[in-house]
Structure 1
């Protein structure tokens, strides 16, 4: 590996590419041509001797090596910014960055979102990537499996509920089982979404027949279709039903756990600790906190641990 060919310019360009995972948008931000950015990323990959991204269908995804390189590039940029500020006699400052999905922003994070925080909106995979690459100081996501390379603090766990119009026969029951959904027309997310996959597996395992009413992206649109009586929807218990709709817990579906995520080495970073405090407070104060069977209170870390 010829590290003499490793340039800070290539690292900075790769960090921008890692933000977008799209050569067109990254090249526009860098004021480069796409071919020039391709060359920079390819040469950086050759210098390091490993691929930095892969292609999954039409999507580009960072490899573990790519995530480490992006994280190193951002750390290097932050150190350089702090050094130059010190030379100029100015105080270095960074804006804390929070990454989360649409549902978390709409129903959980509340007061944690304000002009003093930079926001990244993305699904679970993008939120994890933003944390792993150092683009986000803290992420909030639903996790089924805890990653080994990221600290994951449980925030809250919510039941899954069936949302239906007021007056629907199932509203007479305080709780439901999957068997109660037999023959229902359901409003569901697209097939590749984790919520859709989990729900379909559970219905199949319980041998519950159902029909597809419509596929919709995001809780608000799903609830809108339920309001129009297109079908019923299974949603996270943190999603409040709007007027005219009712929600009932489905007791044999697994609870949905939300976690706050950050890099292990940043447990004492003021940007991380400040955001974590704001996120915890927001989750506890949100209206759906009363519907959560588990709102986590983090335990103090033993001294000397991360």
Structure 2
């Protein structure tokens, strides 16, 4: 096929698929059949000569070309909206869109959320994809490696803390080391999550034995199990323990850096700068005490980047 014969309908349909990464839900939103959407996406990939998505286990993920197509479709839609508004003499309506995970919304961004902001909830990978495809104006995520293709200003860093009942023997300490966790029964996230991977790696390097109490998804459920005295949990320092629990910093675990992420060419976009300003104002009011960025190890950039 010739590139010049590419219609605007195919990228627009693909952008909806990129939102869901699920053919069934995307087809329902587009009011077409799932086979018809499959055909649209396949023909678009054939036209461009690039795969637009890949399967990773049970999940689908966009390729860089897929992210580029989705971003192009959204840019085209925004330009069309601005053009029509100009023709009709009305001001275009642009609603800022923020992407972040459950923990960020619960413990960092609560004061930022209001009806005038569109929200996307997803893990780190989905947050980055939402920004890369133009679905989100700004994302917030914990990053240990900075993405080479995005601007990622640091928002705050927090120590990692051990959360326990306030009558636990370790609660008498003002701070802890990994060695203090020897023999502890821990409530931890599923094994594929970055927090679990990093914690297990640190415990193994320090030769600290521990046992698994239960696996749980999300900080609230981890804290709930600690409240039930199922075990103790290591969480990010921005997480506020509920009554009856206390947190103590583990001084030999690395700090956790929260970054904002946005496309480089949108650094001066009012939607991006407005969200960043609101988040920084909210963080200054947060009850959590963040560790100074100058005292923590900065996230790495991929090899070959500055």
- For the aligned pair, the TM-score class normalised by the smaller chain equals over 0.9
Give the aligned partner of residue 185 of structure 1.
185
Deviation of 1:195 (Å): 0.3
User: What aligned pairs does 1:1-306 form with structure 2 within 5 A after superposition?
Assistant: 2-288=2-288, 291-294=289-292
For 1:43 and 1:287, how far apart are their aligned partners in 2?
Answer: 52
| Unaligned residue ranges in structure 1 (runs of 5+) | 297-306
Deviation of 1:5 (Å): 2.5
Aligned length, in residue pairs: 294
- Checking the alignment, whether the CA contact within 8 Å between 1:110 and 1:286 is kept in structure 2 is no
Report runs of 4+ in structure 1 exceeding 3 Å deviation: none
For 1:272 and 1:244, how far apart are their aligned partners in 2?
Answer: 39
For 1:277 and 1:106, how far apart are their aligned partners in 2?
Answer: 19
For 1:99 and 1:58, how far apart are their aligned partners in 2?
Answer: 22
TM-score norm. by structure 2 comes to 0.94
Question: Helix, strand or coil for the counterpart of 1:234?
Answer: strand
For 2:94 and 2:43, how far apart are their aligned partners in 1?
Answer: 30
Deviation of 1:84 (Å): 1.1
For 1:219 and 1:172, how far apart are their aligned partners in 2?
Answer: 23
Deviation of 1:294 (Å): 2.2
For 1:251 and 1:59, how far apart are their aligned partners in 2?
Answer: 36
- Checking the alignment, whether the CA contact within 8 Å between 1:109 and 1:286 is kept in structure 2 is no
For 1:221 and 1:35, how far apart are their aligned partners in 2?
Answer: 39
For 1:245 and 1:263, how far apart are their aligned partners in 2?
Answer: 40
Q: List per-residue Cα deviations over 1:67-112 (Å, max 9, x = no partner).
A: 0111011000100111111112211111100000001100001221
Deviation of 1:167 (Å): 1.1
- Checking the alignment, whether the CA contact within 8 Å between 1:16 and 1:26 is kept in structure 2 is yes
| Unaligned residue ranges in structure 2 (runs of 5+) | 295-306
- Checking the alignment, whether the CA contact within 8 Å between 1:284 and 1:295 is kept in structure 2 is no
Q: List per-residue Cα deviations over 1:164-206 (Å, max 9, x = no partner).
A: 0011111111110111101110000001110000000001111
For 1:120 and 1:127, how far apart are their aligned partners in 2?
Answer: 8
Q: List per-residue Cα deviations over 1:30-67 (Å, max 9, x = no partner).
A: 00100000000000000000000000011000001110
Question: Helix, strand or coil for the counterpart of 1:162?
Answer: strand
Question: Helix, strand or coil for the counterpart of 1:29?
Answer: helix
Question: Helix, strand or coil for the counterpart of 1:43?
Answer: helix
Give the aligned partner of residue 304 of structure 2.
none
Deviation of 1:295 (Å): 6.7
For 1:204 and 1:179, how far apart are their aligned partners in 2?
Answer: 11
- Checking the alignment, whether the CA contact within 8 Å between 1:53 and 1:60 is kept in structure 2 is yes
